[in-house]
Amino acid sequence: MKPAAQRLSRIRCARALTPEGWCEHCVIQVDASGRITAVVKDDSLSVDLSLTGTVIPGLPNLHSHAHQRAIAGLTEHKLAGYDDFWGWRELMYRANARLGPDELQAVARYLYSQMLQSGYTAVAEFHYLHHDPAGNRYADPAELSARLLEAASEAGIAITLLPVLYCRGGFNGQAVQGVQQRFFCLPEHYLELVQACALHCADDPNRAFGFAAHSLRAVAPEVLTRTLQDAGDLASGVPVHIHVAEQRKEVLECQALNGRTPIAWLHEACPVDENWCLVHATHADPNELRAIVKSDATVGLCPTTEANLGDGIFPTEQFMIDGGHFGIGSDSQICTAPTEELKLLEYTQRLTLQRRTVLVKDDEGSVGRSLVEFALAGGSRAMGKATCGLVAGARADFLELDNSQVDLAALSPDQVLDSWIFAGQGIAVHNVIVGGRHVVVDGVHSLLEVAARPFQQVVATLNEA
């Protein structure tokens, strides 16, 4: 199931967002490996494609659990009694127990096609479903990792695969239970898994790998540090992700058992640096915000999931003022559109602070553009990408917004971004290019329709009983 994605070498843009600002009538030149070689203003060049809308760099999705797409929308039924993140987790665990390799690939293939059609061009897959439903290793321990990579290649999205270390069932070191057996990895088996993933990613410019620990609940910090040391060169310069402070309950439990909160403990005991992505730093206090900025790590925010699960609100404005890096992720896949994540990210700050236009990094300017630039820069760091955006050396990942509607004709490029994120206004993602390949054409991903049926079958199975 391969998309017929054409490789483009020259694309003319009516207007494109570059690191220097909006550039009109430029040509993006792409080499055979899918990297940008130059962005030039030259009206005489022949091109493969002309984009008349507003072109912006593709947005990285820095935190995804593909398998959770299968239950998005199936956990909104209230049962009597108290409901919170932990109740949702039980439902998610129940669904996990029924997903095998074919089902996972079917869900991921559909999901990644949807992400592309919404404007994400790369995904960091935080992958902890390692073993079969009984908790036994597959003949190939990297079976499910390989299926995710294959699904990404089928859809045409770039992927950073992050196999997840999961060693224990809680802060006090209890054993994993039930479905958690599917996640469990001894550090030595985990390193074999990462090694296998690295081989699967070699020589493919759309694939990368990194390390991840599920959380300090699931991995003691000294075990995480030792595992990274034991990895040697394999861990050099690659991303390291962790769920860090999503739920107040886990923060309090960690404080009670270890005398410090997870973010503080992580910074004390692990080599946190610019390669790290702290996902859901939701309950960071001011000192912890400063510690994260000092370590130069990126914070991964997933506003629609954090809202859906009742997690809390990250103090993004203060983190921005402190100079922090952050990006967005779709996490539980309750939403697969970057616009919704960015809008909710800004709105949660407005609701908390009772002010408008909060997340603008230079104190004045377009909120939409600022949000896009934060998501691009922070997301790229989290993906392990040294160069990003429409610039020589970066992978040619970009999208065109269709702003041809009559009522949008008078908008400036910044206003198009503001309207795309905050007002909809019928602005659609019209064309998407990943690594120079044209994967969404005139608003349609060619694989989405074919991928829908197997996806529906998986959901129907999960929804039985």
- Whether 363 sits among the annotated catalytic residues: the reply is no
Q: Which of 443, 447, 431, 444 is nearest to 397 (CA)?
A: 431
Q: Least distance in Å: CB of 332 to Zn ion? A: 7
Compute the distance between CA of residue 337 and CA of residue 434 in angstroms, rounded to an integer: 17
Q: Which residue, 125 or 331, is less far from Zn ion as judged by CB?
A: 331
Q: Least distance in Å: CB of 279 to Zn ion? A: 6
Give 100: exposed, middle or buried? Use CB within 10 Å, 0-12, 13-18, 19+. Answer: middle
In contact, 106 and 148? CB cutoff 8 Å: no
Site string for Zn ion, 31-70 (x = CB under 5 A): ----------------------------------------
Count CA atoms closer than 13 A to 465's CA, side-chain side. 6
Q: Which residue, 331 or 397, is less far from Zn ion as judged by CB?
A: 331
DSSP character string of 277-327: EEET-TT--HHHHHHHHHHTPEEEE-HHHHHHTT-----HHHHHHHT-EEE
Q: Which residue, 206 or 333, is less far from Zn ion as judged by CB?
A: 333
Residue with smallest beta-carbon separation from Zn ion? 331
Cβ-based neighbours of 321, under 8 Å, separated by 6 or more: none
Please report how the helices 101-118 and 448-463 are oriented relative to each other, as an axis angle in degrees rounded to 10.
130
The amino acid that residue 343 corresponds to is K
Cβ-based neighbours of 90, under 8 Å, separated by 6 or more: none
Q: Least distance in Å: CB of 49 to Zn ion? A: 36
Q: Least distance in Å: CB of 298 to Zn ion? A: 15
3-state helix, strand, coil in the chain (%, to 5): 40, 20, 40
Q: Which residue, 103 or 331, is less far from Zn ion as judged by CB?
A: 331
Compute the distance between CA of residue 440 and CA of residue 112 in angstroms, rounded to an integer: 12
- Whether 331 sits among the annotated catalytic residues: the reply is yes
Q: Least distance in Å: CB of 246 to Zn ion? A: 8
Q: Which of 186, 244, 239 is nearest to 214 (CA)?
A: 244
Residue bearing tokens 């629609």 = 304
Q: Least distance in Å: CB of 126 to Zn ion? A: 6
Compute the distance between CA of residue 2 and CA of residue 260 in angstroms, rounded to an integer: 49
Q: Which of 114, 223, 122 is nearest to 165 (CA)?
A: 223
The amino acid that residue 30 corresponds to is V
Q: Which residue, 214 or 445, is less far from Zn ion as judged by CB?
A: 214
Q: Least distance in Å: CB of 75 to Zn ion? A: 15
Q: Which residue, 331 or 346, is less far from Zn ion as judged by CB?
A: 331
Residue bearing tokens 């995480």 = 224
How many residues touch Zn ion under the rule CB under 5 A: the total is: 1
Q: Least distance in Å: CB of 305 to Zn ion? A: 7
In contact, 36 and 392? CB cutoff 8 Å: yes
Residue of 127, 131, 280, 438 marked catalytic = 280
Q: Which residue, 115 or 440, is less far from Zn ion as judged by CB?
A: 115
Q: Which residue, 336 or 403, is less far from Zn ion as judged by CB?
A: 336
* Subset of residues 318 to 377 that bind Zn ion, contact rule: CB under 5 A: 331
**Whole-Å CA distances, 140 to 24, 136, 137, 193, 202:** 50, 11, 8, 9, 18
Tokens representing 441 are 């054409």
Residue of 131, 325, 331, 402 marked catalytic = 331
Count CA atoms closer than 13 A to 52's CA, side-chain side. 5
Q: Least distance in Å: CB of 391 to Zn ion? A: 30
Q: Which of 79, 123, 161 is nearest to 333 (CA)?
A: 123
Q: Which residue, 162 or 342, is less far from Zn ion as judged by CB?
A: 162
- The catalytic residue positions are 280, 331
Question: Which residues make up the interface to Zn ion (CB under 5 A)?
Answer: 331
